[in-house]
Amino acid sequence: MADIDYRAVAIEAGLPRVGARPSLWRYLVDLWHRRRFATTLARYRLEATLSEQRLGIAWVVISPLLQAAVYGTVFGIIMTSDSRPDNFVPFLVTGFFLFTFFSQSFSQGAKALTGNVSLVRSLHFPRMLLPVSAVLKELYTLAPMLVVLVAILIGFGELPTLNWLLMVPILALMTMFNLGVALIAARLTVHLRDIGQLIPIITRILFYASGIFYSIDLVLAPPAHPAWMLQVAQFNPVHAFIELGRGALQTTQELEPLLWVVASGSALVTLVFGVVFFWRAEERYGRA
């Protein structure tokens, strides 16, 4: 019995190896076929978190608004300085809402595999669906925030212009970038759980580096600081998305061409790298 060459038996019968990672193309085709799983899971997850609270969907908006109010009070009223641009409230709220979309995609994406172990262990499906679903959920969450943002913009005298339509490509690029980051974080967290501890710190650094409650252009203005500092700060993709959003929504803010380059370049590179990086470890995720 021990002398049977089982491998030869399997090959002769044309049986493929179980769990072998499919080619990237097949993987993406499979992913596309099951896209409804990702969208449905995102919707159900959102409904489940909201249904546990009295105010439900309102929290999606209230929570970042309250945080923005705290920063607005501290930096706009108590510690005033000339690093705050004109019409500070829409500036702050736009920045805060867009940053929330990024930071939530990052942290929820990182938990997408390690937080769904029972699902991963019981059913077979392309694991990429889980981080995709996590980012989709954050995108859904952004929708009511944008409605409130529109009300705030109008309330502070920023009337709708054609430029507002630029939010569509901006958010599309930002979603690509966020998905890439979520995929990278999801795989790294499987290899090393400790990454989870670093995420809040990285988020915090990016929060201060992305000019949420101050204008990077004003703070790092050339005479006070060497010119390279501003240039480096402008290569931060998160800052680029936020600045583009402000430029599209506020007439007092400019839309710089460099920002488009940074935003589209980082979105493309991060997404492609994230997809390949995640796919390459597909066989490992069951071990989580």
Which residue is listed with tokens 């501290």?
A: 74
Q: Are 184 and 131 in contact (CB under 8 A)?
A: no
Does residue 6 touch another protein according to CB under 8 A?
yes
Does residue 194 touch another protein according to CB under 8 A?
no
**Of the ranges 103-111, 122-130, 145-153, 157-165, which one interacts with another protein (CB under 8 A)?**
122-130
What residues have CB less than 8 Å from 164, skipping those under 6 apart? 248, 249
Of 175, 158, 166, 179, residue with least CA distance to 260:
166
- In whole angstroms, the minimum distance from the beta carbon of 192 to another protein comes to 10
- Contact flags string 20-59 toward another protein, x per CB under 8 A: -------------xx-xx--xx--x---x-----------
84 φ, ψ to 5°?
A: -95, 130
What does the alpha-carbon distance between residue 126 and residue 79 come to, in Å, rounded to a whole number?
Answer: 50
What does the alpha-carbon distance between residue 277 and residue 266 come to, in Å, rounded to a whole number?
Answer: 16
Does residue 3 touch another protein according to CB under 8 A?
no
- In whole angstroms, the minimum distance from the beta carbon of 45 to another protein comes to 8
User: Half-sphere exposure of 43 toward its Cβ, with a 13 Å CA cutoff?
Assistant: 6
- Please state, as a whole number, how many other Cβ atoms lie within 10 Å of the Cβ of residue 89: 16
Does residue 132 touch another protein according to CB under 8 A?
no
Largest CA distance in the chain: 84
What does the alpha-carbon distance between residue 213 and residue 208 come to, in Å, rounded to a whole number?
Answer: 8
**Of the ranges 80-88, 124-132, 155-163, 230-238, which one interacts with another protein (CB under 8 A)?**
124-132
Which residue is listed with tokens 């499979």?
A: 30
**Of the ranges 14-22, 93-101, 157-165, 216-224, which one interacts with another protein (CB under 8 A)?**
14-22
Does residue 73 touch another protein according to CB under 8 A?
no
**Of the ranges 57-65, 113-121, 168-176, 244-252, which one interacts with another protein (CB under 8 A)?**
113-121
Does residue 18 touch another protein according to CB under 8 A?
yes
Give the one residue of 125, 140, 260, 277 binding another protein; rule: CB under 8 A.
Answer: 125
- In whole angstroms, the minimum distance from the beta carbon of 43 to another protein comes to 9
Does residue 13 touch another protein according to CB under 8 A?
yes
Q: Are 42 and 140 in contact (CB under 8 A)?
A: yes
Which residue is listed with tokens 């262990």?
A: 121
What does the alpha-carbon distance between residue 26 and residue 32 come to, in Å, rounded to a whole number?
Answer: 10
Does residue 164 touch another protein according to CB under 8 A?
no
Number of residues that bind another protein (CB under 8 A): 36
Q: Are 95 and 212 in contact (CB under 8 A)?
A: yes
Give the one residue of 25, 122, 197, 222 binding another protein; rule: CB under 8 A.
Answer: 122
The size of the chain, in residues, is 288
- By beta-carbon proximity to another protein, the closer residue of 138 and 243 is 138
Contact footprint for another protein (CB under 8 A) = 1-2, 4, 6-7, 9-11, 13, 15-19, 33-34, 36-37, 40-41, 44, 48, 116, 118-125, 129, 283-284, 286-287
